[in-house]
Structure 1
Amino acid sequence: MKTHNFSIEFFPPKTEDGAQKLRATRAKLAELNPKYFSVTFGAGGTTQQGTLDTVVEIRNEGFDAAPHLSCVGGSKESIRQILKTYQSHDIRRLVALRGDLPSGYGMGGEFRYANELVEFIRAETGDWFHIEVAAYPEMHPQARSPQDDLNNFVRKVKAGANAAITQYFYNADAYFQFVENAHKAGVDVPIVAGIMPITNSSQLMRFSEMCGAEIPRWVRLKLASFGDDSASIKAFGLDVVTHMCERLLEGGAPGLHFYSLNQAAATTEIWKRLLA
């Protein structure tokens, strides 16, 4: 297990209370010794300062940190300044994304796609950053076709990405098929599997509707059968996700990236089960 790339994602807290809770969560998850922590970046850069503050705090605690950087709606100069700021704090990792625009926001900005952002980062900073990009085993919800989506992914890698993190999924076959197709298309960077623990049924349905992640019918029906029984939902979720993680690692996935939602319990339990 130690040879795998294991990482954990947070979102920047919006309040001091949220910041305190995240510190407690991070302290627990740090015991798992992840390779790095990543921190998300809001639509149109709405949480840019929160991302920076959280990443710097993680870095100061002695952990490797990877801020997300989205480019849609941003200018080259604004991105250039962000890159300089991260360099000044000795941040060596980035998760480079196109990102989503805030509602009501036009298609402004000097970047249209993530591959353009990756190219810009490389032109500005050379090999300073280890760049992760996103991958979508079940297709990006705005892509025209699976092939079109794969072509977009290949462009991001050729632009200079070092590795990729997938959107979460609950069908391991979708991941394996995507990786196989990417390899056939000439991609040779690690494609780490994104993992979303199941702890809240309604929240999961809402997230999955937005991002296009499929929840298998049998999982949906089982979750629905528990109603408001949160203990049963969590227990079932742990079993489903742990089994999938085992299959992914056994099948050659180079690592797991956990979407923690700033909670420690589920990620900790899954990881401990994988190590057992």
Structure 2
Amino acid sequence: MSTSTLSFEFFPPKTTDGIEKLRENREKLAKFNPEFFSVTFGAGGSTRDRTMDTVLEIQHEGYQAAPHISCVSSSKEEIRELLQLYQTQGIKRLVALRGDVPSGEVSAGDFRYAVELVDFIRAETGDHFHIEVAAYPEFHPEARTPAADLLNLKRKVDAGADSAITQYFYNADAYFRFIDQCAATGINIPIVPGIMPIYNITQLARFSSVCGAEIPRWLKMRLEEYGDDIESLRAFGVDVVSELCETLQTWGVPSLHFYTLNRSTIISKIIENIGE
């Protein structure tokens, strides 16, 4: 089986111990020759400095880093400064997102939507950056309708997005139907599946309730059946996600993007499984 290219998402660590653990896990994942490592950006820019530090360290190690830029609560001048810094440091790829509004925040800054951020990046930097945006096979939780969600992605493409990374999913049919709908809407950029390993059911249910990703009933019940047997749950999760990745690869997806949660062991097992 031909293997898709890979990329990995990290979040910026808060502690010295977290920084060291991320370095160790990054080194383990680097053996899979990823296209890039992306680094998240906290709500309202709350991790701006830590995101920047992590991005620059990855870049200085010789890997391609792709910082997330979240526009909510950010001014145009703040985004402009970030773009200029990343340009001078040789960063060539960005993940442009609306981002989450911090709890209690009233002002949304100079941008309301990711399409405005994509448009601003293009106006400021031309074609310097490869811009990734978010896509939702099971639709954004705030979308009025599926059609409105597709049109929102189309606006981001028209504004200059080069490719998209999806929210995670466990139903491959949802992704394939979404790809067909995108094509029918005139969206012709690569749409990379986002892959979430399964670490525990509580965490996964919490993530999914926020982002709108569906946990299929059969999968939820099987995971709950393991109870406190985390080792068996994770082994089962590796099998489920490996099969999902194999199905996606069979149909020729351009790449796989792993949401690592700053870990490497389970993801390494999945990649080794799909490479066999």
**TM bucket normalised to smaller:** over 0.9
Are 1:22 and 1:262, in contact at CA under 8 Å, matched by a contact in 2?
yes
Q: Quick one: structure 1 residues 183 and 107, their matched pair in 2 at CA, closer, same or farther if it must change by over 3 Å? A: farther
Partner of 1:47: 47
Q: Deviations over 1:193-219 (max 9, x none)?
A: 000001211111111111111000000
**Cα-Cα RMSD:** 1.0
Does residue 76 (structure 1) correspond to residue 76 (structure 2)? The answer is yes
d(CA) in 1 for partners of 2:238, 2:184: 33
Partner of 2:109: 109
SS in 2 for 1:167: strand
Does residue 19 (structure 1) correspond to residue 19 (structure 2)? The answer is yes
Are 1:170 and 1:215, in contact at CA under 8 Å, matched by a contact in 2?
yes
**1:52-131 superposed matches below 5 A:** 52-131=52-131
Partner of 2:136: 136
SS in 2 for 1:29: helix
Does residue 178 (structure 1) correspond to residue 195 (structure 2)? The answer is no
- One-letter code aligned to 1:248: L
**1:231-270 superposed matches below 5 A:** 231-270=231-270
Q: Quick one: structure 1 residues 163 and 275, their matched pair in 2 at CA, closer, same or farther if it must change by over 3 Å? A: same
- One-letter code aligned to 2:258: F
Out of 106-115 and 168-177, give the one that drifted further: 106-115
How many residues of Structure 1 are paired with residues of Structure 2 in the alignment? 276
Are 2:165 and 2:191, in contact at CA under 8 Å, matched by a contact in 1?
yes
Structure 1: 5+ residue stretches without partners? none
Are 2:4 and 2:254, in contact at CA under 8 Å, matched by a contact in 1?
yes
Q: Quick one: structure 1 residues 35 and 49, their matched pair in 2 at CA, closer, same or farther if it must change by over 3 Å? A: same
Stretches (4+) displaced over 2 A: 1-5
d(CA) in 2 for partners of 1:202, 1:268: 22
d(CA) in 1 for partners of 2:59, 2:198: 29
Are 1:7 and 1:257, in contact at CA under 8 Å, matched by a contact in 2?
yes
d(CA) in 1 for partners of 2:153, 2:253: 18
SS in 2 for 1:252: coil
Out of 198-207 and 158-167, give the one that drifted further: 198-207
Structure 2: 5+ residue stretches without partners? none
SS in 1 for 2:261: coil
TM-score in terms of structure 2 length: 0.98
Are 2:198 and 2:238, in contact at CA under 8 Å, matched by a contact in 1?
yes
Are 1:5 and 1:192, in contact at CA under 8 Å, matched by a contact in 2?
no
- Using the aligned pairs only, state the percent identity: 60
d(CA) in 1 for partners of 2:72, 2:10: 21
Partner of 2:191: 191
d(CA) in 1 for partners of 2:3, 2:155: 28
Does residue 29 (structure 1) correspond to residue 34 (structure 2)? The answer is no
Are 1:140 and 1:149, in contact at CA under 8 Å, matched by a contact in 2?
yes
- One-letter code aligned to 1:203: Q
d(CA) in 1 for partners of 2:68, 2:163: 14
TM-score in terms of structure 1 length: 0.98
d(CA) in 1 for partners of 2:93, 2:141: 26
- One-letter code aligned to 1:10: F
Q: Deviations over 1:36-57 (max 9, x none)?
A: 1000000000001111000000
d(CA) in 1 for partners of 2:175, 2:247: 11
